[in-house]
Structure 1
Amino acid sequence: MSGPQCCSNPPTINPTAGAGHVEKFAGLDSYLTGSPHSKLAILLVSDIYGYEAPNLSVSLGSDTVCPLLLRNLADKVAAAGYYVVVPDFFYGDPYNPENANRPLPVWLKDHGTDKGFEVAKPIVEALKSKGVSAIGAAGFCWGAKVVVELAKSRLIQAAVQLHPSFVSLDDINGVDIPIAILGAEIDKMSPPELLKQFEQVLTAKPGQVDSYVKIFPKVSHGWSVRYNIEDAEAVKAAEEAHQDMLDWFAKHLK
C-alpha cells in the first residue's frame, strides 16, 4: 500500500482544488461536491493516504500543485448527478510512509477500519437527514473494508470496492446488497485468487444478490487513485475503473 511521495520536492497541495469545498459534515472535515439537493448520495472512503492525498506516482516540479485525484474523481461522480461526501476519516493524520517511527501496523492501531465504520455511521445518518433517499459507497484499499461493513449492516444501498484491503471471505458472505469489486492483477493485499473466491461466494448466494467482480490486467494495488497522470495506459485503466463504478451506481441507486 505504500508508494513514493508525490514529488521529490513536494509542492503545495491546494486544499481547495476541485469543484467542491471542504467543510464539516457529521463532525468531520469533508470534501463536498455536487448538488446538496440531490436525493442520491455517494460516500467515498479513501485509502490510508487520506481524503486530500495527491497523486503519489508522478514527480512534478516544485512549483506545481499536485492533482488531488480522489477529489477529481469525486467531482466526476458529482457530475453524474450525485451529492458526494469524501470525509477525513483520519482527523488530519493520514499514513505517512516517510515516518519511520510510525510504520503502518502502528498507524493502523490508531486508525483501524473498525473505527472507520463507527465514524461512517453518523455520516450516513446525516445524509438521510438531508432527505437523501439512496446512498452508495465506494472504498479504496482501507476504505473498502469500511464500505463492506456498511454493506453488511445494510446502511447503504450499493457498494463498490476498489483494490480492497483487509476484506475477508466472511465479510463478503455477510453482504446482501449489490456490490462490485474491482481488483488489480498485481496485488498482494487482495490477489486475483482471493477475488475469485469472493465472486464464488457472491454468485452462490440465495436470492441472487447482484454482484460484479473484475480484475484489471497489468495494474497494481491502488491503480484507480494513485497513478502517473502522464502514463496514458495508467490513466486509461483508472478511468475504466471509474466508469465501472459509475455504471454500478447508475444501475442500483434510484
Structure 2
Amino acid sequence: MLSAFSPDKGCQDAKPIIAALKNKGISAVGAAGFCWGGKVVLELAKSSEIEAAVLCHPSFVNVDDMKGVKCPISILGAENDHISPPELLKQFEQALSLTSEERHIVKIFPGVAHGWTVKHKADDAAAVKHAQEAHQDMLNWFIQHVKKEHVN
C-alpha cells in the first residue's frame, strides 16, 4: 500500500502542479514536507523546481539524500523521534554544510516526538507552543527565501 504513495511518486506528482503554478505567473514556490512528505520535498529541492524547502519530522531520509540540494532548506525535528533522531538530524546538517552552498538550518524541538507539528494534544500547552513555533519558523523561512512576485 505504501508503494502507491512512495516519495518518488509524490515528487513526480508534484512537478506538474508546480509547473501549472508557474504557468499562471507564480515565479517562486516553496514546499513543506511532513513525515514521509519530507523526502518528497527533499527530492524537489534537488530538482530546481522550488525556491525553498522545509522538512518537518522527516522520515525515509538518510544522510546521502542531502547531496545535491539546490535551494535553502530548513529541517525541523523532534528531540524524541525514533524515526529521525537528533543524532541523524545533526548528520543531515553536517552533510548539508559539506555538499550544499545553499543556506540551511536544522532545529531540534525539546520534549516533543515525531509528528508533533500536526499530531499533538490540544490540551498540552508545551506541545501546542512547540507546534506553533515550528509553524512560525516554517512561515518565516518561506518569507525569507521565496521571492515575492506579483501574479498577472
After TM superposition, the score normalised by the length of structure 2 is 0.93
Q: Deviations over 1:24-52 (max 9, x none)?
A: xxxxxxxxxxxxxxxxxxxxxxxxxxxxx
Displacement after TM superposition at 1:156 (Å): 0.2
1:223 aligned onto 2:116? yes
Contact map agreement 2:81 2:114 (CA 8 A) in 1: yes
Displacement after TM superposition at 1:205 (Å): 3.4
Structure 2 CA distance for aligned equivalents of residues 180 and 146 of structure 1: 14
Displacement after TM superposition at 1:118 (Å): 1.1
Contact map agreement 1:181 1:213 (CA 8 A) in 2: yes
Tell me the equivalent position of 1:45: none
Say which structure, 1 or 2, has more relative contact order (CA 8 Å, 6+ apart): 2
Structure 2 CA distance for aligned equivalents of residues 168 and 154 of structure 1: 20
After TM superposition, the score normalised by the length of structure 1 is 0.56
Q: Deviations over 1:144-202 (max 9, x none)?
A: 01000100111000000000001121211121210000000111111111100010111
Among candidates 52, 60, 74, match of residue 180 of structure 1: 74
Structure 2 CA distance for aligned equivalents of residues 192 and 174 of structure 1: 22
Higher helix share: 2
Among candidates 139, 143, 149, match of residue 250 of structure 1: 143
Structure 1 CA distance for aligned equivalents of residues 34 and 130 of structure 2: 15
Displacement after TM superposition at 1:240 (Å): 0.5
Displacement after TM superposition at 1:109 (Å): 2.0
Structure 2 CA distance for aligned equivalents of residues 122 and 213 of structure 1: 29
Amino acid at match of 2:123: E
Tell me the equivalent position of 1:195: 89
Displacement after TM superposition at 1:204 (Å): 2.3
Q: Deviations over 1:93-144 (max 9, x none)?
A: xxxxxxxxxxxxxx21221111111111111111111110110000000110
Structure 2 CA distance for aligned equivalents of residues 170 and 148 of structure 1: 11
Q: How many residues align?
A: 147
Structure 1 CA distance for aligned equivalents of residues 54 and 146 of structure 2: 12
Tell me the equivalent position of 1:32: none
* Structure 2 SS opposite 1:137: strand
Give the unaligned 5+ runs of structure 2. 148-152
Tell me the equivalent position of 2:57: 163
Contact map agreement 1:152 1:171 (CA 8 A) in 2: no
RMSD across aligned C-alpha pairs, in angstroms? 1.1
Tell me the equivalent position of 1:69: none
Structure 2 CA distance for aligned equivalents of residues 125 and 209 of structure 1: 23
Q: How does 1:1-254 map to 2 (within 5 A)?
A: 107-205=1-99, 208-254=101-147
Structure 2 CA distance for aligned equivalents of residues 125 and 177 of structure 1: 17
* Structure 2 SS opposite 1:209: coil
Amino acid at match of 1:216: F
Identity of aligned residues (%): 62
